[in-house]
Structure 1
Amino acid sequence: MSTPPSSSAVKEARVSFGQRLRGIRKDSGLTARALAALAGWHESKCSKLESGARPPSFDDIRAYAHHCGVPHLANDLIDTVRGIDGMYVEWRQLERSGPRPTSPRPGRGGRTGRPRRPPGPGPARRRGPTGA
Protein backbone atom coordinates (compact mmCIF):
# COMPACT_ATOMS: atom_id res chain seq x y z
CA MET A 1 0.00 0.00 0.00
CA SER A 2 1.42 3.39 -0.95
CA THR A 3 1.67 6.32 1.39
CA PRO A 4 -0.99 8.99 0.78
CA PRO A 5 0.41 12.29 -0.49
CA SER A 6 0.88 15.23 1.83
CA SER A 7 0.61 18.90 1.00
CA SER A 8 4.40 19.15 1.20
CA ALA A 9 4.78 16.26 -1.27
CA VAL A 10 2.47 18.01 -3.72
CA LYS A 11 4.40 21.26 -3.30
CA GLU A 12 7.71 19.46 -3.82
CA ALA A 13 6.35 17.85 -6.99
CA ARG A 14 5.24 21.24 -8.34
CA VAL A 15 8.62 22.80 -7.54
CA SER A 16 10.43 19.86 -9.15
CA PHE A 17 8.27 20.19 -12.26
CA GLY A 18 9.01 23.92 -12.37
CA GLN A 19 12.74 23.20 -12.20
CA ARG A 20 12.32 20.85 -15.15
CA LEU A 21 10.57 23.63 -17.09
CA ARG A 22 13.34 26.08 -16.19
CA GLY A 23 15.97 23.62 -17.43
CA ILE A 24 14.13 23.20 -20.73
CA ARG A 25 13.91 26.97 -21.17
CA LYS A 26 17.56 27.56 -20.33
CA ASP A 27 18.67 24.76 -22.67
CA SER A 28 16.75 26.51 -25.45
CA GLY A 29 18.67 29.74 -24.77
CA LEU A 30 15.58 31.79 -23.96
CA THR A 31 15.14 34.13 -21.03
CA ALA A 32 11.90 33.98 -19.08
CA ARG A 33 10.98 37.40 -20.43
CA ALA A 34 11.63 36.33 -24.05
CA LEU A 35 9.57 33.14 -23.63
CA ALA A 36 6.70 35.11 -22.10
CA ALA A 37 6.79 37.54 -25.04
CA LEU A 38 6.77 34.69 -27.58
CA ALA A 39 3.87 32.96 -25.84
CA GLY A 40 1.90 36.19 -25.31
CA TRP A 41 2.03 35.90 -21.53
CA HIS A 42 2.62 38.44 -18.79
CA GLU A 43 6.29 38.69 -17.85
CA SER A 44 5.77 37.07 -14.45
CA LYS A 45 4.00 33.95 -15.74
CA CYS A 46 7.20 32.02 -16.54
CA SER A 47 8.55 32.72 -13.08
CA LYS A 48 5.33 31.53 -11.45
CA LEU A 49 5.26 28.35 -13.54
CA GLU A 50 8.94 27.62 -12.89
CA SER A 51 8.71 28.21 -9.14
CA GLY A 52 5.62 26.01 -8.75
CA ALA A 53 3.55 28.97 -7.55
CA ARG A 54 1.09 28.54 -10.41
CA PRO A 55 0.03 25.22 -11.91
CA PRO A 56 0.29 25.25 -15.71
CA SER A 57 -2.64 24.50 -17.99
CA PHE A 58 -2.15 22.00 -20.79
CA ASP A 59 -2.16 24.87 -23.29
CA ASP A 60 0.56 26.58 -21.25
CA ILE A 61 2.69 23.44 -21.44
CA ARG A 62 2.18 23.07 -25.18
CA ALA A 63 3.14 26.71 -25.76
CA TYR A 64 6.14 26.40 -23.43
CA ALA A 65 7.41 23.29 -25.22
CA HIS A 66 6.74 24.75 -28.68
CA HIS A 67 8.58 28.02 -28.05
CA CYS A 68 11.48 26.22 -26.37
CA GLY A 69 11.85 24.04 -29.47
CA VAL A 70 10.86 20.75 -27.81
CA PRO A 71 7.25 20.11 -28.86
CA HIS A 72 7.90 16.36 -28.62
CA LEU A 73 8.14 16.76 -24.80
CA ALA A 74 4.69 18.34 -24.44
CA ASN A 75 2.79 15.08 -23.89
CA ASP A 76 5.30 13.84 -21.31
CA LEU A 77 5.08 17.17 -19.46
CA ILE A 78 1.28 17.04 -19.56
CA ASP A 79 1.33 13.51 -18.11
CA THR A 80 3.55 14.76 -15.29
CA VAL A 81 1.12 17.59 -14.50
CA ARG A 82 -1.78 15.12 -14.50
CA GLY A 83 0.09 13.04 -11.93
CA ILE A 84 0.68 16.08 -9.73
CA ASP A 85 -2.96 17.11 -10.07
CA GLY A 86 -3.99 13.58 -9.04
CA MET A 87 -1.77 13.82 -5.95
CA TYR A 88 -3.40 17.14 -5.06
CA VAL A 89 -6.93 15.78 -5.48
CA GLU A 90 -6.12 12.74 -3.35
CA TRP A 91 -4.58 14.95 -0.66
CA ARG A 92 -7.66 17.24 -0.61
CA GLN A 93 -10.00 14.25 -0.28
CA LEU A 94 -7.96 12.90 2.62
CA GLU A 95 -7.98 16.32 4.27
CA ARG A 96 -11.76 16.53 4.02
CA SER A 97 -12.55 13.00 5.16
CA GLY A 98 -9.40 12.18 7.10
CA PRO A 99 -9.23 10.71 10.56
CA ARG A 100 -10.84 12.71 13.34
CA PRO A 101 -9.27 13.04 16.77
CA THR A 102 -10.42 10.25 19.06
CA SER A 103 -9.18 11.58 22.38
CA PRO A 104 -10.93 14.35 24.28
CA ARG A 105 -9.58 17.84 23.97
CA PRO A 106 -7.50 18.95 26.93
CA GLY A 107 -9.12 21.37 29.36
CA ARG A 108 -12.70 20.48 28.48
CA GLY A 109 -13.43 18.02 31.23
CA GLY A 110 -13.44 15.05 28.89
CA ARG A 111 -16.01 16.57 26.55
CA THR A 112 -15.17 16.35 22.87
CA GLY A 113 -17.67 18.95 21.69
CA ARG A 114 -21.25 20.06 22.04
CA PRO A 115 -23.74 17.47 23.27
CA ARG A 116 -25.76 15.95 20.48
CA ARG A 117 -29.51 16.30 20.28
CA PRO A 118 -31.50 13.09 20.18
CA PRO A 119 -32.96 12.25 16.78
CA GLY A 120 -36.47 13.36 16.03
CA PRO A 121 -38.30 16.67 15.75
CA GLY A 122 -36.79 19.69 17.39
CA PRO A 123 -38.28 21.48 20.40
CA ALA A 124 -41.75 22.99 20.00
CA ARG A 125 -41.79 26.62 18.95
CA ARG A 126 -42.97 29.10 21.53
CA ARG A 127 -46.03 30.96 20.55
CA GLY A 128 -46.69 34.58 21.30
CA PRO A 129 -49.42 35.83 23.64
CA THR A 130 -52.03 35.59 20.87
CA GLY A 131 -51.27 31.96 20.21
CA ALA A 132 -50.25 32.59 16.61
Structure 2
Amino acid sequence: MSGKGYLMLWMICGACATSSGSAYREEILGLTDMSLEYIMTQWGEPDYKLPKSNGQSVKYESVMSVDEEPLSGELIKKICVANLDINKEGLVEDWGYSDCKDLNPRPPKPSEAVDEGDFDVDDDRKLPDLPMAPD
Protein backbone atom coordinates (compact mmCIF):
# COMPACT_ATOMS: atom_id res chain seq x y z
CA MET A 1 0.00 0.00 0.00
CA SER A 2 1.40 3.39 -0.88
CA GLY A 3 2.04 5.99 1.80
CA LYS A 4 -0.76 8.17 0.48
CA GLY A 5 -3.31 5.34 0.69
CA TYR A 6 -2.19 4.47 4.21
CA LEU A 7 -2.59 8.10 5.31
CA MET A 8 -6.07 8.24 3.78
CA LEU A 9 -7.06 5.01 5.57
CA TRP A 10 -5.73 6.37 8.88
CA MET A 11 -7.69 9.61 8.47
CA ILE A 12 -10.92 7.75 7.72
CA CYS A 13 -10.58 5.29 10.61
CA GLY A 14 -9.24 7.91 13.00
CA ALA A 15 -12.44 9.89 12.62
CA CYS A 16 -14.61 6.83 13.24
CA ALA A 17 -13.26 5.51 16.50
CA THR A 18 -12.35 6.95 19.84
CA SER A 19 -8.77 6.67 21.03
CA SER A 20 -9.70 4.20 23.77
CA GLY A 21 -11.83 1.96 21.56
CA SER A 22 -14.83 2.49 23.85
CA ALA A 23 -18.21 3.86 22.87
CA TYR A 24 -17.34 7.14 24.60
CA ARG A 25 -15.08 9.98 23.61
CA GLU A 26 -12.28 10.48 26.13
CA GLU A 27 -12.21 13.86 27.85
CA ILE A 28 -9.68 16.35 26.46
CA LEU A 29 -8.22 18.64 29.10
CA GLY A 30 -7.57 22.31 28.33
CA LEU A 31 -10.03 22.83 25.48
CA THR A 32 -9.88 26.63 25.64
CA ASP A 33 -7.81 28.01 22.72
CA MET A 34 -7.46 24.49 21.24
CA SER A 35 -8.12 24.17 17.51
CA LEU A 36 -11.22 22.40 16.26
CA GLU A 37 -8.95 20.67 13.74
CA TYR A 38 -7.01 19.00 16.56
CA ILE A 39 -10.18 18.13 18.49
CA MET A 40 -11.51 16.41 15.36
CA THR A 41 -8.42 14.15 15.31
CA GLN A 42 -9.43 12.95 18.79
CA TRP A 43 -13.24 12.98 18.65
CA GLY A 44 -14.06 12.87 14.93
CA GLU A 45 -16.63 15.08 13.25
CA PRO A 46 -18.94 17.06 15.58
CA ASP A 47 -22.43 15.65 16.05
CA TYR A 48 -23.94 19.12 15.50
CA LYS A 49 -22.65 22.33 13.89
CA LEU A 50 -24.44 25.67 14.10
CA PRO A 51 -23.02 28.70 12.29
CA LYS A 52 -22.70 31.93 14.30
CA SER A 53 -21.78 35.47 13.28
CA ASN A 54 -18.31 35.16 14.81
CA GLY A 55 -17.64 31.46 14.12
CA GLN A 56 -19.65 28.36 14.93
CA SER A 57 -21.05 26.36 17.79
CA VAL A 58 -20.39 22.62 17.76
CA LYS A 59 -21.60 19.77 19.94
CA TYR A 60 -20.07 16.39 20.65
CA GLU A 61 -22.19 13.74 22.33
CA SER A 62 -20.95 10.88 24.54
CA VAL A 63 -17.92 12.63 26.03
CA MET A 64 -16.70 10.98 29.24
CA SER A 65 -15.96 13.45 32.02
CA VAL A 66 -14.05 12.25 35.07
CA ASP A 67 -14.10 14.26 38.30
CA GLU A 68 -12.67 13.42 41.69
CA GLU A 69 -14.83 13.63 44.81
CA PRO A 70 -12.81 16.01 47.04
CA LEU A 71 -13.49 14.25 50.36
CA SER A 72 -13.38 10.58 49.40
CA GLY A 73 -11.09 10.76 46.34
CA GLU A 74 -13.63 8.62 44.45
CA LEU A 75 -13.59 9.08 40.66
CA ILE A 76 -16.97 10.14 39.31
CA LYS A 77 -17.47 9.25 35.64
CA LYS A 78 -20.17 11.00 33.63
CA ILE A 79 -21.20 10.95 29.99
CA CYS A 80 -21.94 14.46 28.76
CA VAL A 81 -22.57 16.60 25.71
CA ALA A 82 -19.61 18.93 25.07
CA ASN A 83 -20.67 22.35 23.75
CA LEU A 84 -17.86 24.28 22.04
CA ASP A 85 -17.93 27.86 20.76
CA ILE A 86 -15.41 28.12 17.92
CA ASN A 87 -14.17 31.52 16.70
CA LYS A 88 -13.40 32.44 13.06
CA GLU A 89 -9.79 31.29 13.50
CA GLY A 90 -11.05 27.79 14.36
CA LEU A 91 -10.08 27.96 18.06
CA VAL A 92 -12.24 27.10 21.06
CA GLU A 93 -13.36 30.35 22.66
CA ASP A 94 -15.69 28.90 25.29
CA TRP A 95 -16.92 25.43 26.19
CA GLY A 96 -18.91 23.48 28.73
CA TYR A 97 -20.67 20.20 29.46
CA SER A 98 -24.44 19.66 29.54
CA ASP A 99 -26.90 16.78 29.90
CA CYS A 100 -24.49 14.71 32.02
CA LYS A 101 -25.46 11.19 33.08
CA ASP A 102 -23.68 9.43 35.95
CA LEU A 103 -21.93 6.22 34.87
CA ASN A 104 -21.24 4.92 38.36
CA PRO A 105 -24.33 5.51 40.49
CA ARG A 106 -23.43 5.74 44.14
CA PRO A 107 -25.55 4.71 47.10
CA PRO A 108 -27.45 7.61 48.67
CA LYS A 109 -25.67 9.67 51.29
CA PRO A 110 -26.91 9.08 54.85
CA SER A 111 -28.77 12.39 54.71
CA GLU A 112 -30.60 11.23 51.55
CA ALA A 113 -31.33 7.66 52.66
CA VAL A 114 -34.92 6.69 53.40
CA ASP A 115 -35.49 5.86 57.04
CA GLU A 116 -37.76 2.85 57.52
CA GLY A 117 -39.36 4.72 60.42
CA ASP A 118 -40.79 7.20 57.93
CA PHE A 119 -43.53 4.72 57.04
CA ASP A 120 -46.10 4.55 59.83
CA VAL A 121 -48.60 1.70 59.87
CA ASP A 122 -51.08 3.85 61.79
CA ASP A 123 -51.01 6.59 59.19
CA ASP A 124 -53.95 9.02 59.53
CA ARG A 125 -54.54 9.06 55.79
CA LYS A 126 -57.45 6.87 54.75
CA LEU A 127 -57.76 4.73 51.67
CA PRO A 128 -60.95 5.23 49.66
CA ASP A 129 -63.77 2.81 50.41
CA LEU A 130 -63.94 0.22 47.67
CA PRO A 131 -67.11 -1.74 46.87
CA MET A 132 -67.07 -5.29 48.15
CA ALA A 133 -67.29 -8.19 45.74
CA PRO A 134 -70.60 -10.11 45.88
CA ASP A 135 -70.49 -13.44 47.74
Which has the larger share of helix?
1
Do Structure 1 and Structure 2 share a fold, with TM-score over 0.5?
A: no
TM-score bracket, normalised by the shorter chain, equals under 0.3
Question: What's the TM-score once normalised by structure 1's chain length?
Answer: 0.25
The answer to which structure, 1 or 2, has the higher relative contact order (CA under 8 A, 6+ apart) is 1
Which has the larger share of strand?
2
